[in-house]
Amino acid sequence: MTPTSEREHQPLDFPSAALPLLHDAQMRGNVRHATGVIQGKRFRVVGEMPDWQLLREAGRQIRAHSLDYLDFYLEQFEQRCTAAGGHVHWARDAAEANRIVLQLAQNPTGRVIKIKSMTTEETGLNHALEAAGIQPIETDLAELIVQLGHDKPSHIVVPALHKNRHQVRELFVRAMNLPHLGDRPEDLAEAARVYLRQQFLSTPVAISGANFLIAETGGVCIVESEGNGRMCLTLPRKLISVAGIDKIIPRFRDLEVMLQLLPRSATGERMNPYNSVWTGVHPGDGPQEFHVVLLDNRRTEVLRDPEARETLHCIRCGACQNACPVYRQTGGHAYGSVYAGPIGAILTPQLALMKRGQSLPYASTLCGACYEVCPVKINIPEVLIHLRGRVVTGRPRSLRALHPEAIIMRSMQWMFLSETRFRLAQQFGRIAQRPWIRRSGWIERLPSILGGWTRTRDLRPLPPQSFREWFQARPRSAIESASKSPPQVSPESSEVPHG
Amino acid sequence: MRIALFVTCYNDTLFPEVGIAVVRVLERLGHTIDFPYAQTCCGQMHYNTGYLPEALPLVRRFVDIFRDSEVVCVPSSSCVGMMREHYEKIALASGDKTLQSDVSALLPRVYEFTELLVHRLGIEDVGAVYPHRVTYHASCHSLRNLHLGDVPIRLLRNVRDLELIPMEATDLCCGFGGTFSIKNADVSGAMLEEKLQYVQKTQAEVCTACDNSCLMHIGGALHRQRAKMRTEHIATILGSDSISPATRKDAY
pLDDT tens-place string over residues A372-387:
999 999 999 999 999 9
Tell me which residue in A330, A422, A463 faces B187 most closely, judged by beta carbons.
A330
Q: Is B147 exposed, middle or buried (0-12, 13-18, 19+ CB in 10 A)?
A: exposed
* DSSP-assigned letter for residue A460: P
Domain count, chain B: 2
CB A468 within 8 A of CB B18: no
Q: Is residue B128 part of a domain?
A: no
Cβ–Cβ gap A422/B85 under 8 Å: no
Q: B50, A489: Cβ pair inside 8 Å?
A: no
CB within 8 Å: B189 and A457: yes
Check whether residue B82 and residue B178 sit in a common domain: no
Dihedral (Cα; A8, A12, A16, A21), 10-degree rounding: 30
Residue A330 lies in a domain: no
Q: Is residue B66 part of a domain?
A: yes
Per-residue model confidence (pLDDT) at position A490: 43
The single-letter DSSP state of residue A294 is: E
CA distance A19 to A25: 12
Same domain assignment for residues B82 and B147: no
Given B120, B141, B167, the domain boundary residue is B120
Q: Does B142 share its domain with B217?
A: yes
CATH number, domain with residue B68: 3.40.50
Q: How far is CA A26 from CA A348, B172, B232, in A?
A: 27, 21, 35
> Of A362, A382, A496, which is closest to B183 when you measure between CB atoms?
A362
Contact residues on chain A for B27, CB-CB shorter than 8 A: 479, 482-483, 486, 488, 490
Are B203 and B232 found together in one domain?
Answer: yes
What is the domain range of residue B11?
2-120
Residues B142 and B110 in one domain: no
* Per-residue 3-state assignment (H helix, E strand, C coil) for A95-108: HHHHHHHHHHHCCC
Residue A426 lies in a domain: no
Q: Among the three residues B80, B96, B120, which one is the final residue of a domain in this structure?
A: B120
Q: Which residues have CB under 8 Å from B180's CB, separation 6+?
A: A362, A364, A365, A366, B188
Phi, psi torsion values for A69, nearest 5 degrees: -120, 35
Is there a contact between A498 and B45 (Cβ–Cβ < 8 Å)?
Answer: no
Distance from CA of A445 to the nearest CA of B (A): 11
CA dist list (Å): A264 to A30, A44, A228: 22, 9, 20
For B194, nearest residue in chain A (alpha carbons)? A329
Beta bridge partners of B71: B3
Is A58 a domain residue? yes
* List of residues 6+ apart from A16 with CB closer than 8 A: none
Q: Which candidate in A14, A416, A470, A472 is best for mutational testing of the B interface (most B CBs within 10 A)?
A: A416
The number of distinct structural domains making up chain A is 1
Instruction: Tell whether B125 is covered by a domain.
Output: no
Domain of residue A18, residue span = 4-301
Q: Is residue B104 included in any domain, yes or no?
A: yes
Question: Does B145 reside within a domain?
Answer: yes
Q: pLDDT per position in chain B (252 positions), as tens? A: 999 999 999 999 999 999 999 999 999 999 999 999 999 999 999 999 999 999 999 999 999 999 999 999 999 999 999 999 999 999 999 999 999 999 999 999 999 999 999 999 999 999 999 999 999 999 999 999 999 999 999 999 999 999 999 999 999 999 999 999 999 999 999 999 999 999 999 999 999 999 999 999 999 999 999 999 999 999 999 999 866 655 544 333
Which residues of chain B are within 8 Å of residue A470 when distances are taken between CB atoms? 16, 19-20
Same domain, B185 and B81: no
CATH code for the domain of A169: 3.40.50.10420
Residues B84 and B141 in one domain: no
Using CA atoms, how far residue B219 sits from A29, B74, B205, B223, B226, in Å, is 26, 21, 12, 6, 10
Q: How many CB pairs under 8 A join A and B?
A: 241
pLDDT per position as a tens digit, B22-81: 999 999 999 999 999 999 999 999 999 999 999 999 999 999 999 999 999 999 999 999
Q: What is the pLDDT of residues A477-491, one digit of tens each?
A: 665 555 544 444 444
For residues B48 and B147, membership in a common domain is answered with no
For residue A471, give the nearest of B35, B41, B244 by CB distance. B35
The answer to the question of residue A48 being in a domain is yes
Whether the CB-CB separation of B3 and B28 falls below 8 Å is answered with no
What is the chain B residue with the closest CA to A453? Answer: B182
The answer to whether the Cβ–Cβ distance between B37 and A382 falls below 8 Å is: no
**In chain A, whose CA is at the least distance from the CA of B86?**
A382
B166 and B197 assigned to the same domain? yes
B31: helix, strand or coil = coil
Selected for mutation to probe chain A from B188, B193, B198 (highest A CB count within 10 Å) is: B188
Q: Is residue B126 part of a domain?
A: no
Looking at the structure, do residues B201 and B138 belong to the same domain, yes or no? Answer: yes
Domain for residue A73, yes or no? yes
Strands (E), A286-359: 289-295
